[in-house]
Amino acid sequence: MVKHRPLFRHIRDHNALFSELAMARNSYAQSLGLNDYVYHKTPKFITADGRRLTIEPERSLIVQNYQSFAGVKNVLQREIPGFYIVNNSDIGFRYPTAAIANLDAPFIKRFRSEFFHRDNEDRSICRPRNLSYGIKSRGKGDNRQEYEVWVPDENVQLDPTPLFIEKYGEDLPDEVRQFASLPPVVYGWMGVKRAAFEAIYLSKKAIGDIAINIGLSVDAYNIGARPDLSFSPLVDSSIAKHNAEIEWEVMGYYAPKGEHPSHDEIWRGIDHAIEAVSAPLNNTYHNVAINIQESKTERILSCIAEQQISNQQILDWNLKPWEFLQDSSDSRRKSHDPSRAVNLLGRLNRLFYQETFRLPSLKEVHELIARS
């Protein structure tokens, strides 16, 4: 593996970050001989009845402890012919994510706040930034629908439905549009530390001249024991569950300049690439893998349900995602001392820094997955 400094950033501008990642990806594609190729984002999926949907082609594998993924980059490069990790594509960020739909909801709804850092930057507090609002199909089934928008800071408390319509238009099914407009109530929280990188997959025999761009990430995460992140006597902690996950998702593809592969050719290549990554990971980690058919957002919901917290309690709390952009809330008081406001960021930081379940640093995760 080529030794390089991972691309860590301490910025609030996602466009700048992903532009730099795109330059790294295109430069690496040329080094693989894809000089006369053009990059395309993952296309809309056309259903049998002609609808064009925004589809998320991804898989994941969950384990108990992030240490299980030591050296996973080398596993991928060794076990998958035609799999090439893009130099300088590594990024590290942490984010709190909120589940804001209940277990009975037809889709999954979430708010997520990503925060990037410089390499070796010491952080003692997580300050949410870059708030995104997303809706996904439930579960971890094949090719789930996914819709996501970034919410401007000044409009963080407004209904984000118009942003969905503006971005996705005809791809937003009526049932998703209706679900998007429901008022957000926080059902639970998760804190995540993520080491992410990209790869290019080539296989002329299986998928012809198409080269598939795959985004991969290794996440270590903690789930709050209660929706307001307070102490739970059931688990004797404010953290109820901690696991780790590796995800792989098709981000786009390269095709020769001037050529336009058909819808079926592109999606055959996408599905083949997803399975090409799945096979060696399943073989390597089958002894430590946890069989979970839930998305991470759904894991928050089931975890909260296990804490015997009722829907009525959650509705009574009436927590809103944007509250966790605030240092404290005068509308919420400490249970043992009502004269003191609740420090919301302090509670959120327990998901990252609570001593018993401390999440690893971004640098530690990157070094772990790159081990020989």
pLDDT digits (tens, 9 = 90+) for 261-297: 999 999 999 999 999 999 999 999 999 999 998 999 9
Burial class (CB in 10 A: 0-12, 13-18, 19+), 299: buried
CA angle 76, 279, 56 (to 5 degrees): 90
Residue 117: the pLDDT is: 66
**Span 64-78, mean pLDDT?**
97
Distance (Å, rounded) from C-alpha 357 to C-alpha 229? 14
| Residue 215 confidence (pLDDT) above 70 | yes
Distance (Å, rounded) from C-alpha 79 to C-alpha 198? 17
Percent of the chain whose predicted confidence (pLDDT) is above 90: 66
End-to-end CA distance of the chain: 9
Residue 78: the pLDDT is: 96
Token couple for 292 = 């979970």
| Residue 34 confidence (pLDDT) above 90 | yes
Q: How confident is the model at residue 118 (pLDDT cuts 50, 70, 90)?
A: low
- Top-confidence residue, 121 or 283: 283
Q: Against a cut of 0.85, is the pTM above it?
A: yes
| Residue 201 confidence (pLDDT) above 70 | yes
Residue 156: the pLDDT is: 78
| Number of helices (H), then strands (E), in the chain | 10, 17
> Of the given ranges (31-35, 123-127, 268-272, 280-284), which has the lowest mean pLDDT?
123-127
Distance (Å, rounded) from C-alpha 243 to C-alpha 141? 20
Residue 1: the pLDDT is: 42
Residue 10: the pLDDT is: 64
- Among 58-62, 157-161, 337-341, which range has the highest average pLDDT? 58-62
Residue 5: the pLDDT is: 63
- Mean pLDDT, all residues of the chain: 90
Residue 219: the pLDDT is: 97
**Span 84-98, mean pLDDT?**
92
- Top-confidence residue, 288 or 329: 288
Q: Please name the residues in contact with 195: beta carbons below 8 A apart, sequence gap of 6 or more.
A: 6, 90, 92, 217, 218, 362, 365, 366, 368, 369
Q: How confident is the model at residue 332 (pLDDT cuts 50, 70, 90)?
A: confident
| Residue 4 confidence (pLDDT) above 60 | no
For tokens 């420090």, what's the residue?
Answer: 343
| Residue 3 confidence (pLDDT) above 70 | no
Q: How confident is the model at residue 121 (pLDDT cuts 50, 70, 90)?
A: low
Residue 183: the pLDDT is: 85
Closest CA to 158 of 131, 135, 176: 131
CA angle 71, 76, 79 (to 5 degrees): 115
Residue 344: the pLDDT is: 86
Residue 2: the pLDDT is: 44
Q: How confident is the model at residue 9 (pLDDT cuts 50, 70, 90)?
A: low
Q: Please name the residues in contact with 318: beta carbons below 8 A apart, sequence gap of 6 or more.
A: 185
Distance (Å, rounded) from C-alpha 193 to C-alpha 361? 7
**Span 118-140, mean pLDDT?**
78
Q: How confident is the model at residue 159 (pLDDT cuts 50, 70, 90)?
A: confident
Contact assessment for residue 194 and residue 94, using Cβ atoms and an 8 Å cutoff: yes
- Among 203-207, 291-295, 327-331, which range has the highest average pLDDT? 203-207
